[in-house]
Chains A and B, each alone.
Chain A
């Protein structure tokens, strides 16, 4: 009954400004496409009431990825993926096409801010213990999405084919050379030949604009479908007092669960937040404000700083100091710390591999009860050390590169 009432309210909202022929047309289309039902399904969902500003990070990540796809499409208006023309086409944009330069700046700063927002989204999920039963697999999908975005970042950095891009591509494709047994062949496959060349750029272009996005987009869909299946967990603030609840109180709370809750199977007490709110409009409003703020920041950075372009790639320049993109600084520092022969594969494969494996397996490693961060020191303290380690490695790398 409540659903029918909500539906009629929604139809009213959707059709209120229109009348006469427009309203008749809307009804004609709606009967055939079910627009109202679709909008109803997308917007009317129960979400946790408290801490909702922190939950806007997920939608902000989605908006920023859409921004990357859109700006990327229009970079292709000009960009040519060829070793002789890539730099020329982007240099043209930077000096003769102000609007295209803004689009390029938004693509770069959108990527930088996307890394920050994705990081905060992961931290939020981690601190609130949202990866616990029944959301283990959605955490893993999220980690894979994070790795795909890192891959998009590093392949994108290769495409301008300026000095920075060329040496980034050189180092990244040479890392696989240290892979046991097939290293040399893997490097030739990635480079399209024994050394860097025209086939290297076309390969990474294809990986950047087709292969990785083709994996990214369906996985985002899966991430959202699973989110709707489980309902937003929110964070521990929405479950305060679950330990003191009586069986009767808990049963009553479950009885009043709205879709998509109850998120079963779940730990006792954590199936439904204590207090629910409507996704539309209260959460959508917060999502919209945060996304607007981020896109505004990206727009300003694109205009004020923009996307730099260095000199064209020159494999024979002797005075150039290559520096990695900032989000790869910790990995670059590992290259220095694991020198010579058998140590190099440890630094490039085993250490990052262990880190990634731990991240993927987190929901199965964390056996702590409860969701409050202070009640899960077994995972919070090691995670804090990992974050401090990454920051420390990045600082060491900056110190090394800028004191050369």
Chain B
């Protein structure tokens, strides 16, 4: 009899818990397809000054069929060892994910939350961030810049 109570109790608990635990864990398995999104004509981007563009990106996986939210991408034409390199930086701070902005007086990316500092190409130069700014995948069609919400680690 007692065994029966235990078995029925365990069975009831399992039947209720299994779908709920699955529900809780489901976001881990969300997938999202990331399309190429138009940013700008790069002829308008000055060399050596990170320029902010707002693009509509889906970054929340499958939830609600992937709504678009505005995100800032910093397009940087950096003069590195006598060659101009094009970098598309995510402005999401790698510390606590606040928005960083380019400070034209200090010539750094500054995070207002906890004072993270990054160079023009996103490398760490101060504050608590544990790694460089992430970079969006980008491609050029002629002089038109497209990015995709697939992030690669910065250098």
Q: Tell whether A pairs with B.
A: yes
Chain B residues lying within 8 Å of A320, measured Cβ to Cβ, are: 99, 112
B60 touches A315 (CB 8 A): no
A91 to B95, CA, bound (A): 31
- Please provide the chain A residues from 163 to 177 with a CB less than 8 Å away from any CB of chain B in the complex: 167, 170-171, 174-175
B98 touches which of A199, A322, A339 (Cβ 8 Å): A322
B60 touches A195 (CB 8 A): yes
Chain A residues lying within 8 Å of B64, measured Cβ to Cβ, are: 197-199
Q: A198, A318, A322, A335: which has the most chain B beta carbons within 10 Å?
A: A318
Helix, strand, loop or mixed for chain A's interface?
A: loop
Residue B61 at the A interface, CB < 8 A? Answer: yes
B60 touches A193 (CB 8 A): yes
B130 touches which of A193, A200, A344, A400 (Cβ 8 Å): A344
Chain A residues lying within 8 Å of B98, measured Cβ to Cβ, are: 167, 170-171, 322
Stretch binding the partner chain, chosen from A108-116, A183-191, A252-260, A382-390:
A183-191
A193 touches which of B30, B72, B91, B101 (Cβ 8 Å): B30
- Please provide the chain B residues from 86 to 141 with a CB less than 8 Å away from any CB of chain A in the complex: 91, 95-99, 101, 112-115, 124, 127-130
- Please provide the chain B residues from 21 to 60 with a CB less than 8 Å away from any CB of chain A in the complex: 24-25, 27-28, 30, 32, 52, 54, 59-60
Given contacts A189-B28, A316-B70, A318-B52, contact A196 B99 (CB under 8 A): no
B114 touches A335 (CB 8 A): yes
Residue A336 at the B interface, CB < 8 A? Answer: yes
- Count of residues in B whose CB is under 8 Å from the partner chain: 35
Q: B27, B72, B112, B130: which has the most chain A beta carbons within 10 Å?
A: B27
Residue A373 at the B interface, CB < 8 A? Answer: no
- Please provide the chain A residues from 60 to 114 with a CB less than 8 Å away from any CB of chain B in the complex: 83
A335 touches B24 (CB 8 A): no
Given contacts A189-B24, A316-B71, A320-B112, contact A195 B59 (CB under 8 A): yes
Residue A192 at the B interface, CB < 8 A? Answer: yes
Residue A353 at the B interface, CB < 8 A? Answer: no
Chain B residues lying within 8 Å of A194, measured Cβ to Cβ, are: 30, 32, 59-61
A194 to B61, CA, bound (A): 6
A residues contacting B by CB (< 8 A) are 83, 167, 170-171, 174-175, 185, 188-189, 191-200, 314-322, 332, 335-336, 338-341, 344, 400, 404
Extra 14 A-B pairs, beta carbons < 8 Å, given A193-B27, A197-B59: A170-B98, A171-B96, A188-B30, A192-B60, A194-B61, A197-B64, A198-B64, A199-B63, A199-B64, A315-B72, A320-B112, A335-B114, A336-B115, A340-B129
